[in-house]
Every structure is written in structure tokens, then in C-alpha cells.
Chain A
Amino acid sequence: MSDVLAQLFVTPVSLSGVEKSLLILPLCLSISIVYKATRLERLRDMPAAVAGLWVTIVIGMYAVGVGLWVVYRVLA
């Protein structure tokens, strides 16, 4: 078990393009949680605020990605 854990943290994981693009989801969730934890005075408001910010960031980032991809396809 400890060998498996050690290998997990030592050897890089092989990722496909789709997997890499999906890894943006937990990262955006972390950003949303920490940002809202610093901004909100009442922590009970956090779940809704975090969900809203997370959706906004994810949609924004994918929109930028699609936009850049379209520009690349047009120019290529």
C-alpha cells in the first residue's frame, strides 16, 4: 500500500487531452472555495456562492478555450 502511494506521488500520471481539460473542474472549485471563504462574512452563505462562482469560472474558461480553438482553426 505504501509502495502504491509512493509511486503515485513520484511517477507522473499519464493524461489524455480530455482528462487534462477535466482537471480544470476541481481546480476551479478550489479557487471558488478559498476566494469565497475570504470574501464572505457568513460562512453559511458559502455553498450557493461557491457554486455560482465555480460555474462562472468553468463556463468562462471553456468559452475562452473554444474561442482560441476557433481562432486557431481559422488561421491554420
Chain B
Amino acid sequence: MNTMTNTSSMPPSVRVPLTGLLGWLIPGMGHLFIGDRKRGIIILVTLTLTFWTGIAVGGVRSTVDPQQKKLWFMAQICGGTHALAAYGMGVYSRGDLRKDQLAHSQWGSTEVALVYTGVVGLLNLLAIMDALVRADPASRRGHPAPATVSRMDPT
């Protein structure tokens, strides 16, 4: 992957924040950006499937709702574009329906969906922090460098 050599030549002051931003935007992208391809794909696929499974269970209209479910939204938004896309789809599909006209909570599926999407956000926070540590080798003093980082080293 070409980004492996490109990112290793970047100064840490650019590489680390960019890794965090990409990891937030698309879960797993932070690892992909620093060249940890397998780890990034595992995180990307797992978190994407889990988030949209939650949305499929609870429906897009009431699962991501910053007005009614502020604390859940704070967890969900750590999932980046998934949460933003679900929120946008929810606003679009809700149309002119009032809150009390929405079909939610009567089967308890909204609660399941909230847990799924909230957990995805928190897991992505963990993945972002892991990517940040891996992006800055200086922060890994005392730990062996991962194989992918050593391959990034042009020497």
C-alpha cells in the first residue's frame, strides 16, 4: 500500500492528528492510513456491520436522535460518518411526522438499536486511540514496534 511509505515520511505533528480524524470519520480508516491494513479492515468491517445491524433493528427514524437521546447520541457520534449518515437518513425519512407519530419503543427494538450504535461509537473511540498510539512510534517506548510499522521504515 503506497500510503504506508507516504505516511511514514510525514512528521508526527501531521500524521497523528490526521490518523485520528480519519479514524473518526470512517472507523478503521486510521489504521489503514498508517499502513496497518489487516487491522483496519477488521475494525472497518466489524463496526460497519454492527452499526447498521443496530439501525436495521431499530429503524433509522428514532435511533440517532440528538434532541431526544442526547447521551446516546454522544456515544453514537464517535462512530463518525455512520452516525451522521443515519441521522441524515432519519431526518429525511421522518418527513413531517411528529415525534408521537413515530413507531418506536413499542417493541423494545429501539433500545437494542441504541445499545448497538452506542457501543459502536465507543469501540471506535478505542480504535482511534489505538491508531493514534500506533501512528506515533515515540509514544510506544518500551513496547515492541508492530510488524507493519517496521515494514513502513524505509531503512
- The interface centre, meaning the residue of B38, B109, B147 with most chain A CB atoms within 10 A of its CB, is B109
20 more CB-based (< 8 A) A-B contacts, given A12-B62, A30-B50, A34-B127: A9-B52, A9-B55, A10-B60, A12-B58, A13-B58, A13-B109, A14-B107, A15-B107, A15-B112, A20-B109, A23-B116, A30-B46, A30-B49, A31-B123, A33-B42, A34-B126, A35-B123, A38-B43, A38-B130, A43-B38
Return the CB mask of A19-37 against B: 1 if under 8 Å, else 0: 0100100110011011101
> By the criterion CB–CB under 8 Å, are A23 and B127 in contact?
no
Contact A8 B56 (CB under 8 A): yes
Contact residues on B (Cβ < 8 Å of other chain), bracket: 35 or more
**A3 CB-CB contact with B under 8 Å:** no
B108 at the interface (CB under 8 A from A): yes
Contact, CB under 8 Å: B127 / A10: no
Q: Are B47 and A34 in contact (CB under 8 A)?
A: yes
CB distance from A19 to the nearest CB of B (A): 9
Interface size class of A (residues with CB under 8 A): 20 to 34
B43 engages A34 (CB within 8 Å): yes
Interface residues of B (CB under 8 A from A): 38-39, 42-43, 46-47, 49-50, 52-53, 55-62, 89, 93, 103-104, 106-110, 112-113, 115-116, 119-120, 123, 126-127, 130, 144, 146-147
B107 to chain A, nearest CB (A): 5
Q: Give the complex CA separation of A43 and B58 in angstroms.
A: 33
Residues of A near B144 (CB, < 8 A) are 41
What's the nearest-Cβ distance from chain A to residue B63, in Å? Answer: 9
Q: Are B112 and A20 in contact (CB under 8 A)?
A: yes
